[in-house]
Chains A and B, each alone.
Chain A
């Protein structure tokens, strides 16, 4: 079975540009979460979507947005890129919004902002 897939694997952008990152959850999973991991730190929560509805938002500026599609795949968009946005962006999927669910992570998208 395919795990969580993310694309692209690597991305290089310049300051001020816009970027779109994509995520396909594990088949049958309806919830997707996005995390940002800066080098040497643990992942930081950005968004969670369940059944196309936003369920949670972390402490990130409005330049960050996301959406979930009818097939449960998701996009993370970042506008007006800053150098500090350089990080590994991780997508995680889980089966439902229930109590004892496990989040399974993809390999991530490495974003470099120059």
Chain B
């Protein structure tokens, strides 16, 4: 049973065309929700962590928000260098800090 579902799986944007990525989760007792960026053949790069509903974080053209059942990653006026796969992960309510990842949102920004 998938705990983290990301949509859309793939997204093509024109440069400057803002959009949002969705991450819905089913785990109860969320300890934390994480967004990572991954470039092809590279390891995930940490972007944001959110801990409670209503929380928001921003970094350059990216803004992450959290509700009780989902998170959004808003990309404002994207540039080609924003092309990447964006991974969402939840930290499970167990003793260890394992992360459960979704399959990712593959974003391509066309100049």
Flag if A105 contacts B96 (CB, 8 Å). Answer: no
Residues A105 and B100 in contact in the complex (CB < 8 Å), given A42-B87, A42-B89: no
A43 touches which one: B31, B46, B97, B99 (CB < 8 A)? Answer: B99
Bound complex: CA of A94 vs CA of B98, how far in Å? 11
Q: Which chain A positions have C-beta within 8 A of B36?
A: 105
B96 touches which one: A56, A88, A90, A110 (CB < 8 A)? Answer: A56
A-B contact count (CB 8 A): 70
Residue of B nearest to A40 (CB): B103
Does A15 sit within 8 A of B, measured CB to CB? no
Flag if A56 contacts B103 (CB, 8 Å). Answer: no
Shortest Cβ distance from A6 into chain B, in angstroms?
8
Flag if A110 contacts B99 (CB, 8 Å). Answer: no
Q: Which chain A positions have C-beta within 8 A of B102?
A: 42
Residues A42 and B98 in contact in the complex (CB < 8 Å), given A90-B43, A100-B32: no
Residues of A in contact, count (CB < 8 Å): 31
A56 touches which one: B4, B42, B94 (CB < 8 A)? Answer: B94
Does A107 sit within 8 A of B, measured CB to CB? yes
Bound complex: CA of A42 vs CA of B102, how far in Å? 5
Q: Which of B22-69 contact A (CB under 8 A)?
A: 31-32, 34, 36, 41-46, 49, 51
A94 touches which one: B44, B51, B97, B104 (CB < 8 A)? Answer: B97
Q: Which of A62-114 contact B (CB under 8 A)?
A: 88, 90, 92, 94, 97, 99-108, 110
Flag if A101 contacts B103 (CB, 8 Å). Answer: no
Beyond A100-B32, A107-B43, 7 additional contacts (C-beta under 8 Å) are A33-B98, A42-B87, A43-B99, A43-B101, A45-B98, A94-B97, A106-B43
Residues of B within 8 A of A (CB): 4, 31-32, 34, 36, 41-46, 49, 51, 87, 89, 94-104
Residues of A within 8 A of B (CB): 4, 31, 33, 35, 40-45, 48, 50, 55-56, 58, 88, 90, 92, 94, 97, 99-108, 110
